[in-house]
């Protein structure tokens, strides 16, 4: 009994006071869990609502940069630089003189080309005159044929007379009426007449041959100038083309800006010899810049050309908002065009979400009001609900 009495609490309190505290904690914990569950449900609902009603209406990225088509300035003729009028960061207008090349050689070449053109024109005039002279010679050769025919006729008559004289004297030889000397003289006269006839025939053939040759020469001369004049003759056109080339080379010694923009990467100095086609500087057309926004591949399912975009630049902050539109997609991801492409066929392959550059055209008026530079960071957001 005494042990049982000793086991009872002396002050009549509960033998397990922690049981009451744990009951109270459980009663407080339940509402707390309910509140947490409600909070989680609210957050999930808000996220779902944002994703459905807001997030699905646009895609955005901060992996975007200003880009542009830089115009490279390359001299199209060689020579020594005698003047440079611009420097890096300087704004220039299209047609403004950038630098000049010593034009002494080009001026000499132009003078030679001009002289060659004048010489070609005179050669054409000479060809025309030669053509006329050959025509006159051909006509003269044609008249020689008539003279040669007359000589043939005369020689034939002389031959006939000589033959008659010889025959008459030869017939009288037996009667003693004709001496031997007369017969010999008649025979010689006949031989001479025959030779003269043959010579006349050869002269006629030669006259005809000369006339044909002269006519062919005239035709060859006319073939060089037929259907042309001094302005359309081939040799004159060739000389004029070389003269135009020399003029162009002289004009190219003054190098001008091809576009409006900012000078960048100037590499030439006064006194330096530049070669044809070597880049001397670049001009950035700041009024024609665009943005390459690198979106993740899982963001591009609904992106289309022509959709509107809003962009902000770290250069100006959120106070300046640029408006543009999607104009195209790159032909491949950045990894595909990298210097060392990823070898996904290896056994160590790890999937990495790829990014595809999307080109966004900017509003020229906004660019003029707030100029940008190539390489600046941008934040881009594309409105998926907009249409082209």
Residues 299 and 369 grouped into a single domain: yes
Q: Please give the DSSP secondary-structure letter assigned to residue 56.
A: G
121 and 174 share one domain: yes
Residues 188 and 143 reside in one and the same domain: yes
* Residue 146: count of CB within 10 angstroms of its CB: 11
CATH number for the domain including 277?
2.40.50.100
Report H helices in 8-72.
17-49
Where in the sequence is the domain holding 190, given as residue range(s)?
A: 106-247
First to last CA, the chain: 98
Q: Collapsing DSSP states into helix, strand and coil, what is residue 340?
A: coil
Radius of gyration (C-alpha) of the chain in whole angstroms = 54
196, 261: one domain: no
Residues 213 and 265 grouped into a single domain: no
Separation CA 70–CA 256 (nearest Å): 15
* Nearest of 282, 279, 284, 280 to residue 261 by alpha carbon: 284
CATH of the domain at 180: 1.10.287
Q: In what order do the strands lie in the sheet with 281-284?
A: 71-73, 281-284, 261-264, 91-92
SS3 62: strand
The residue assigned the tokens 């001299």 is 75
Q: Give the pLDDT score at 3.
A: 44
Single out the residue in 219, 247, 275 at which a domain terminates: 247
For the chain, what is the domain count? 3
**Dist CA 381 CA 295 (whole Å):** 10
Answer whether residue 10 is part of any domain: no
Q: What is the pLDDT of residue 168?
A: 77
Tell whether 128 and 180 lie within a shared domain.
yes
Residue 225 lies in a domain: yes
Q: What CATH number does the domain containing 294 carry?
A: 2.40.30.170
One domain for residues 266 and 323: no
Q: Are residues 100 and 115 both part of a single domain? A: no
Q: What's the rounded Cα separation, in Å, for the pair 135 and 151?
A: 25
DSSP letter at 348 equals T
28 within some domain: no
- Please, are residues 275 and 81 in contact by the beta-carbon 8 Å criterion? no
Does 238 share its domain with 266? no
- What's the pLDDT at 46? 73
Asked if residue 186 and residue 80 are part of one domain, the reply reads no
For residue 322, what are the β-bridge partners? Answer: 311
Decide: 159 and 242 in contact? Cβ < 8 Å. no
Domain boundary pick from 188, 222, 247? 247
Instruction: Return the structure tokens found at 355.
Output: 């990014």
Among residues 224, 247, 270, the one where a domain terminates is 247
Is the same domain home to 168 and 223?
yes
Whether residue 266 lies inside any domain: the answer is yes
Rounded distance between C-alpha atoms, residue 227 and residue 373, angstroms: 60
Cβ burial, residue 105 (10 Å; 0-12/13-18/19+): middle
Residue 16 lies in a domain: no
Rounded-to-integer distance, Cα 228 and Cα 234, Å: 8
Q: 10-residue block means of pLDDT along the chain (388 residues)? A: 45 50 59 78 72 70 92 93 95 96 95 95 83 76 81 86 80 69 79 86 84 78 78 90 95 95 93 92 92 92 91 92 93 75 68 88 92 93 83
Q: Is the same domain home to 81 and 135?
A: no
Local structure of residue 178 (DSSP, 8 states): S
Q: Give, as one character, the DSSP assignment of residue 54.
A: I
State residue 6's pLDDT score: 44
The answer as to whether 329 is a domain residue is yes
The predicted structure's pLDDT at residue 9: 47
Q: What is the pLDDT of residue 28?
A: 63
Q: Print the SS3 string covering 255-274.
A: EECCCCEEEECCCCCCCCEE
Q: What is the pLDDT of residues 374-388, one digit of tens each?
A: 999 999 999 988 875
Q: What is the predicted pLDDT for the residue at 27?
A: 61
Cα(301)–Cα(307) distance, rounded to whole angstroms?
A: 13
- Cα–Cα dist 199/221, whole Å: 32
283 with 258: CB under 8 angstroms?
Answer: yes
Taking the model in full, what pTM does it have? 0.62
**Residue 303: what are its φ and ψ, rounded to 5°?**
-80, 130
Tell whether 39 is covered by a domain: no
Other C-beta atoms closer than 10 Å to the C-beta of 372 total 22
């Amino acid at each position: 009994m005494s042990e049982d009495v000793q086991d009872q609490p002396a002050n009549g309190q509960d033998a397990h006071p922690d049981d009451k505290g744990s009951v109270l904690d459980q009663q407080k914990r339940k509402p707390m869990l309910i509140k947490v569950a409600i909070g989680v449900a609210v957050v999930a609902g808000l996220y779902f609502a944002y994703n459905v009603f807001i997030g699905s209406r646009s895609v955005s990225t901060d992996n975007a940069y200003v880009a542009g088509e830089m115009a490279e300035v390359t001299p199209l003729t060689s020579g020594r630089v005698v003047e440079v009028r611009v420097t890096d960061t300087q704004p220039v207008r299209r047609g403004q003189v950038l630098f000049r090349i010593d034009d002494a050689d080009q001026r000499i070449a132009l003078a030679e080309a001009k002289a060659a053109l004048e010489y070609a024109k005179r050669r054409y005039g000479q060809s025309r005159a030669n053509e006329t002279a050959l025509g006159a010679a051909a006509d003269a050769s044609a008249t020689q044929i008539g003279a040669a025919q007359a000589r043939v006729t005369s020689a034939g008559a002389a031959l006939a007379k000589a033959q008659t004289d010889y025959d008459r004297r030869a017939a009288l030889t037996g009667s003693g009426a004709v001496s031997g000397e007369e017969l010999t003289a008649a025979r010689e006269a006949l031989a001479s007449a025959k030779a003269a006839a043959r010579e006349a025939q050869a002269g006629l053939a030669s006259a005809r041959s000369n006339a044909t040759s002269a006519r062919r020469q005239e035709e060859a001369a006319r073939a060089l100038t037929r259907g042309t004049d001094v302005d359309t003759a081939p040799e004159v056109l060739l000389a004029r083309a070389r003269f135009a080339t020399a003029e162009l080379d002289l004009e190219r010694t003054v190098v001008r800006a091809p576009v409006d923009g900012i000078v960048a990467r100037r590499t030439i100095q006064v006194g330096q010899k530049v070669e044809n086609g070597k880049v001397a500087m670049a001009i950035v057309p700041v009024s024609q810049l665009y943005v390459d926004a690198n979106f993740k591949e899982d963001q591009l399912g609904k992106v289309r050309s022509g959709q509107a975009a809003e962009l902000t630049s770290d250069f100006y902050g959120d106070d300046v908002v640029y408006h543009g539109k999607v104009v195209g997609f790159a032909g491949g991801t950045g990894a595909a065009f990298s210097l060392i492409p990823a070898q996904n066929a290896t056994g160590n392959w790890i999937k990495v979400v790829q990014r595809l550059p999307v080109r966004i055209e900017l509003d020229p008026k906004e660019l003029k009001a707030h100029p940008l530079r190539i390489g600046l960071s941008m934040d881009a957001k594309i409105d998926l609900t907009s249409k082209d």
